[in-house]
Amino acid sequence: MSLFAAVEMAPRDPILGLNEQFNADTNPAKVNLGVGVYFDENGKLPLLKCVAQAEAAMQADPKARGYLPIDGIAAYDKAVQGLVFGADSAVVQDHRVATVQAIGGTGGLKIGADFLKRLNPGAQVLISDPSWENHRALFTNAGFQVGSYPYYDADQLGINFDGMLAALNAAAEGTVVVLHACCHNPTGYDLSPAQWAQVVAAVKARNLVAFLDMAYQGFGEGIAEDGAVIQQFLAAGLDFFVSTSFSKSFSLYGERVGALSVVCASAEECTRVLSQLKIVIRTNYSNPPTHGAQVVAMVLGTPALRALWEEELAGMRLRIRAMRSALVEALNTAGVTTDLSFVTRQKGMFSYSGLNAAQMQRLRSEFGIYGVDSGRICVAALNTKNLPAVAQAMAAVMQ
């Protein structure tokens, strides 16, 4: 009997399965809208100029690769704090934020989840319904019971905000609430500032633990605008968690650059929290890798590179917005008469198109257009060349 004889086959990742199906499709007009990455107008993954310039500078002055400190590059952690909280914010000035470099946004979530499990082993975790597919698995694997709060309202093509708020108000004290800070994945629907204010009030009143997942800062309205929700949590005087990802905003997916920040009540508390975050890291992977975080730290810390990054990020944001408007226009031209304004109301890379699973399957089998069965399409994978065919196909399955 072999050691692994009883090992069960794990379920396939649904999105990776879609990619395999896409790659095997021989239709020359095929379009992959199932991905979770930003492609440029030529359908290519961009290498940002600011990244290339930082790498050139690093290559011109190569350094030996020693181990990093457990919490990562100090300049990087500081730059993350500046971006997320504002360099001049009181919490940063008062040393009340513990920030650690993490292996992507996923790594930030995982460090936070492991720390929370030690802090409050009996807590429940609530994620949005629906959410990024890894949220549930990640918190479940960290040992939590994971439930959900209502979010998407299919009838209204928007957010079931009353349902969401009612769920938060019914949650037990200490419940960890995972919130998408901006550019909700998968729906594209974000809360308004007034709705956020009510969420913050509920978190405070019920003594909940907010865990803000910020994987798309700068992809919605702008860096500061997308980070505004953080200021609301700070103003309420709450302790909370923020995971950061630079995968999308720097197009550094494979470098795995992210962070976790924990806002604490005092500098002394922050020192103790940081010591525990370091234990989590030390016992998982010892310390983080050097390259990606060095690039991000150099870009954010060098005024000319930072300005270039902001320009390139705005370029990605505006191109996505242009694709949203162009998609609505092309669908209208193709004869779709229903109100499609929700497409331009949505933020970030994704759109819940309102199409059902049968329609999404027809898009694949008849037109070679690959989106997720939930109706999610990646607007950032549209360009002026593939958009007309996508709109024609969508119109065909909608009528």
Q: Is 213 a catalytic residue?
A: yes
Stretch that binds ligand PLP, among 100-108, 116-124, 203-211, 336-344 (CB under 6 A): 100-108
How near is the Cβ of 109 to ligand PLP at its closest, in Å? 6
Q: Which is nearer to ligand PLP, 215 or 260 (CB)?
A: 215
Q: Measured on CA atoms in the order 158, 160, 162, 166, is the torsion positive or negative?
A: negative
Of all residues in this chain, which one has the CB nearest to ligand PLP in the complex? Answer: 104
**Taking Cα atoms as reference points, which of 251, 282, 262, 242 lies closest to residue 68?**
282
Q: Which tokens go with 264? A: 């604490």
Q: Which of 89, 160, 245, 386 binds ligand PLP (CB under 6 A)?
A: 245
- Tokens 């978190």 appear where? 203
Q: How far apart are CA 248 and CA 3, in angstroms?
A: 40
**49 Cβ contact partners less than 8 Å away, ≥ 6 residues apart:** 308, 312
- What is the rounded CA–CA span in Å between residue 38 and residue 190? 19
Please, what is the minimum distance in Å from the beta carbon of residue 112 to ligand PLP? 12
Binding mask 124-153 toward ligand PLP (x if CB under 6 A, else -) reads --------x---------------------
**Options 215, 274, 300, 390; binder of ligand PLP; rule CB under 6 A:** 215
Strands 145-150, 152-153: pairing is unpaired
Binding to ligand PLP by residue 383, rule CB under 6 A? Answer: no
How many angstroms from the chain centroid is the CA of residue 202?
A: 23
On the question of a cis peptide bond just before residue 130, with omega within 30 degrees of 0, the verdict is: yes
Q: How far is the CB of 93 from ligand PLP (least distance, A)?
A: 28
286-315: contacts with ligand PLP (CB under 6 A):
none
The DSSP annotation for 105-130 comes to HHHHHHHHHHHHHHH-TT-EEEEEES
| Smaller CB separation from ligand PLP, 136 or 180 | 180
Minimal distance in Å, beta carbon 395 to ligand PLP? 28
Non-local (6+) Cβ contacts of 350 within 8 A are: 36, 183, 184, 185, 186, 187, 188, 376, 377, 378, 379
Residue 23: how many CB atoms within 10 A of its CB?
10
Nearest residue to 201 (alpha-carbon basis) of 173, 231, 228, 238:
238
Site map (CB under 6 A) of ligand PLP, residues 155-194, x = contact: -------------------------x----x---------
- Considering beta carbons, is residue 240 or 367 the nearer one to ligand PLP? 240
280: enclosing H helix or E strand: helix 267-282
Task: Find tokens 């100029």 and name the residue.
Answer: 49
Whole-number CA gyration radius for the chain? 21
Q: Quick one: which of 142, 139, 118, 138 has its CA closest to 275? A: 118
| 36 is a site residue for ligand PLP (CB under 6 A) | yes
CB of 7 to ligand PLP, least distance (A): 26
Taking a C-beta distance cutoff of 8 angstroms, is the pair 21, 31 a contact?
Answer: no
For ligand PLP, which is the closer residue by CB, 96 or 180? Answer: 180
Indicate which residue of 110, 117, 248, 347 is catalytic.
248
The least distance separating ligand PLP from the CB of residue 111, rounded to whole angstroms, comes to 12
Binding mask 252-281 for ligand PLP (x = CB under 6 A): ------x-----------------------
Nearer to ligand PLP, 299 or 340 (CB): 299
Contact flag: residue 104 with ligand PLP (CB under 6 A): yes
Q: Is 49 a catalytic residue?
A: no
* Strands 241-245, 350-352: pairing kind: unpaired
Is 309 an annotated catalytic residue?
no
The answer to whether residue 105 forms part of the interface with ligand PLP (CB under 6 A) is: yes
Nearer to ligand PLP, 292 or 368 (CB): 292
258 close to 245: Cβ distance less than 8 angstroms:
yes
**Based on CB atoms, which residue is closest to ligand PLP, 132 or 309?**
132
As given in the structure block, the two tokens for residue 396 are: 């065909």
Contact map string, positions 43 to 82, toward ligand PLP, x by CB under 6 A:
----------------------------------------
**Residues assigned a catalytic role:** 132, 213, 248
Interaction site with ligand PLP (CB under 6 A): 36, 104-106, 132, 180, 185, 213, 215, 245, 247, 258
